[in-house]
């Protein structure tokens, strides 16, 4: 009996679910009859038909999830490998969860999350429902393969075992039936028994939010684009060069995956290893180093022990972490597989460059064990592009274009205003409801019970990655303001930086000789005018030594913005708690509480070296 290829994969976060449903051989002559003589498990358990096509492509006789040609089978969103109850942008795998910004297969930065592009235009094996459900060797057809099929067959709309659809007849007399299975949109099955919708593995040439499909009805069978989130049928194919008997395979075939989630000191690399039962693979992994063609001598040697695993037909490309890297450094990566005879086989070499150090300031102790660094500015969000960023300068804030009760308005971000908050606003906002990382434009009064830290979102000007940013707790802020020690004893002070009022925080190593400040800490007569600091002095004397400035950016209730330039409110990680400071520090400095976590306050994130990958 012919052996079939087995695929080992770098598995990190989840276990794949494998479906093994496929057409069984039939005696009905219109089926075409091909099954390659092996009706066991794996590649050859699914029936195909040879239509004598010029390319030699062999087409499966039924859809993924079906047991007979007339059965509809499963419905898949493009690039997803499991069927589901509902199909929409909101639950599409490669779309940002609160919008339609793409995270994979995107060549247009206008529709990519945070201007993301990867220029992928055809499905990778790990995202192909035919490959992942039927095994290596099966795949979704390309647009060109569908075109070849239609050009070399005659088409008849017909009824087969109670199901209507297209019967395609080739010159060699073999046939192929496509049921009019319809399509899924949200939780509704549309156009069943009227249209057959079949995915290709080809992305739209003009709009990456769409992919190519072939549609059949009573009057035509042709190609059209459709949004990727729709649930369509998948008809697998295999080619002659994908049917080679693997008994001649005498060594593992290793493929190095894409390098993704590149950070300052870490990145992720996926890989696959193709082998069979005769090849004893004892270890697989990744070598990573600063010289080309890294081996086991490379400084980064990440191992995934896959010994004895021969039944995983689902390549998982999420990858494994390479950590302990150096910022702003070029690395070379090769996946490998080591066999029991101590031979090592390599995948192709890939390279990447780690990010530069995050622009941040500190250090600040938040406990006896932990230190953090503050981001370069307050957090800002642009709803129209789903983009998060840190303010360019520590004193920057958005404010409002409509004067508040005190007549203050406008901020340092031109063309932006917090009172225009909405889901499609193309300006920037920087006053958010507590824990609202998943719903940054939330406006109406309500209580949020589940805190979602803003640090879980990718920050566009800090590497484009989520983490290691986070929000400090009340206990951590209390230690930072009152528990830690500095050489000079100065921990914080009211001040005015570049004509903006706010609170200045001094790092753990702050020495009074760096810059003389007045009425420091919680002295008896704090006043921002005692510490007026120009932009030049701030950057040259304070910021360069790790000082942090929290501007008085006001607050928002519904669409009304107040206390701009007069008061600072900053969220803590605990529900309803926030920092509250203004001239004379305020009656409750530094912490206040309100049972209304929907008010819009500022957010300043930190990162902790001990928790970074």
Give the tens place of pLDDT for each residue, 478-508. Answer: 999 999 999 999 999 999 999 999 999 999 9
Non-local (6+) Cβ contacts of 338 within 8 A are 281, 282, 283, 284, 344, 345
Inform me whether the pLDDT recorded for 568 exceeds 60.
yes
Inform me whether the pLDDT recorded for 198 exceeds 80.
yes
Non-local (6+) Cβ contacts of 96 within 8 A are 102, 103, 113, 386
β-bridge pairing 330-339 and 281-289: antiparallel
- In contact, 129 and 73? CB cutoff 8 Å: no
pTM of the model: 0.53
What was the pLDDT predicted at 39? 31
What was the pLDDT predicted at 280? 81
> How many Å apart are CA 106 and CA 122, to the nearest integer?
10
> How many Å apart are CA 379 and CA 580, to the nearest integer?
17
Average pLDDT of the residues in 156-179:
92
The helix (H) or strand (E) run that includes residue 132 is: helix 129-134
Query: HSE-up of 215 (CA within 13 Å, CB side)?
Result: 15
pLDDT tens-digit readout, 8-21: 444 332 222 222 23
Average pLDDT of the residues in 342-356:
87
> How many Å apart are CA 120 and CA 294, to the nearest integer?
27
Kindly state the tokens that stand for 410. 């406008």
To the nearest 10°, report the CA torsion of 435, 439, 445, 447: -40
> How many Å apart are CA 281 and CA 449, to the nearest integer?
49
Q: What is the percentage of the chain residues whose pLDDT exceeds 70? A: 81
What was the pLDDT predicted at 247? 37
What is the sign of the dihedral through the CA atoms of 216, 221, 223 and 225? negative
- Computed over every residue of the chain, the mean pLDDT equals 82
Identify the band that residue 536 occupies on the pLDDT scale cut at 50, 70 and 90.
very high
Q: How far is CA 382 from CA 114, 388, 516, 541, in A?
A: 10, 7, 38, 32
Inform me whether the pLDDT recorded for 380 exceeds 70.
yes
Identify the band that residue 525 occupies on the pLDDT scale cut at 50, 70 and 90.
low
Q: How many residues are given for the chain?
A: 613
Strand order of the β-sheet with 196-203 is: 196-203, 210-216, 221-227
Phi and psi at 59, nearest 5°, equal -105, 135
Identify the band that residue 316 occupies on the pLDDT scale cut at 50, 70 and 90.
very low
């Amino acid at each position: 009996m012919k052996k079939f290829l087995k695929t080992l994969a770098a598995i990190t976060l989840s276990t794949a679910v494998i479906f093994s449903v496929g057409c069984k051989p039939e005696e009905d002559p219109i089926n075409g009859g091909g099954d390659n003589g092996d009706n066991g498990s794996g590649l050859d358990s699914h029936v195909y038909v040879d239509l004598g096509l010029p390319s030699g492509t062999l087409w499966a006789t039924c859809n993924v999830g079906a047991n007979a040609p007339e059965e509809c089978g499963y419905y898949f969103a493009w690039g997803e490998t499991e069927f589901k109850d509902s199909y929409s942008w909101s639950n599409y795998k490669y779309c940002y969860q609160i919008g339609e910004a793409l995270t994979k297969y995107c060549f247009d930065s206008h529709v990519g999350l945070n201007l993301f592009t990867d220029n992928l235009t055809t499905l990778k094996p790990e995202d192909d429902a035919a490959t992942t459900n039927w095994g290596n060797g099966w795949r979704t057809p390309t647009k060109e393969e569908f075109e070849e099929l239609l050009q070399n067959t005659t088409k008849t709309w017909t009824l087969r075992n109670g199901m209507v659809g297209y019967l395609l007849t080739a010159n060699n007399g073999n046939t192929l039936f496509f049921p009019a299975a319809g399509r899924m949109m949200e939780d509704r099955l549309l156009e069943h028994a009227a249209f057959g919708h079949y995915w290709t593995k080809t992305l739209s040439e003009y709009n990456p939010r769409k992919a190519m499909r072939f549609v059949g009805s009573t009057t035509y069978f042709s190609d059209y684009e459709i949004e990727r989130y729709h649930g369509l049928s998948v008809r697998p194919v295999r080619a002659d060069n994908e049917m080679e008997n693997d008994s001649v395979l005498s060594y593992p075939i290793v493929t190095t995956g894409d390098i993704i989630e590149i950070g300052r000191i870490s990145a992720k690399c996926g890989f696959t290893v193709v082998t069979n039962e005769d090849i004893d693979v004892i270890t697989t992994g990744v070598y990573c180093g600063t010289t080309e063609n890294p081996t086991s001598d490379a400084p980064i040697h990440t191992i995934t022990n896959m010994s004895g695993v021969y039944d995983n037909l689902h390549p998982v490309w999420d990858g494994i972490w390479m950590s302990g890297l150096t910022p702003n450094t070029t690395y070379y990566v090769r996946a490998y597989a080591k066999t029991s005879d101590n031979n090592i086989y390599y995948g192709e070499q890939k390279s990447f460059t780690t990010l530069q150090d995050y622009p941040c300031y500190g250090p600040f102790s938040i406990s006896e064990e932990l230190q953090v660094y503050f981001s370069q500015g307050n957090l800002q969000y642009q709803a129209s592009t789903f983009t998060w960023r840190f303010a360019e300068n520590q004193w920057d804030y958005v404010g409002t274009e409509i004067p508040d009760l005190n007549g203050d308005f406008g901020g340092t971000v031109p063309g932006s205003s917090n009172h225009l908050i909405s889901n499609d606003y193309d300006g920037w906002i920087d006053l958010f409801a507590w824990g609202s990382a998943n719903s940054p434009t939330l406006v109406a009064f309500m209580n949020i019970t589940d805190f979602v830290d803003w640090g879980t979102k990718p920050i566009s000007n800090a590497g484009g990655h989520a983490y290691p940013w986070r929000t400090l707790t009340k206990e951590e802020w209390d230690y930072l303001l009152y528990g830690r020690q500095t050489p000079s004893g100065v921990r914080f002070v009211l001040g005015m930086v570049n004509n903006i009022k706010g609170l200045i925080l001094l790092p753990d190593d702050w020495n009074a000789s760096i810059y003389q400040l007045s009425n420091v800490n919680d002295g008896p007569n704090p006043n921002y005018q005692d510490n007026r600091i120009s932009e030049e002095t701030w950057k040259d004397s304070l910021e360069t030594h790790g000082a942090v400035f929290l501007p008085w950016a006001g607050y928002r209730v519904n669409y009304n913005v107040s206390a701009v330039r007069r008061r600072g409110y900053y969220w803590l990680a605990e529900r309803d708690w926030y920092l509250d400071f203004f001239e004379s520090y305020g009656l409750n400095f530094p912490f206040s509480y309100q049972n209304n976590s929907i008010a819009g306050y500022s957010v300043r994130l930190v990162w902790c070296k001990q928790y970074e990958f």
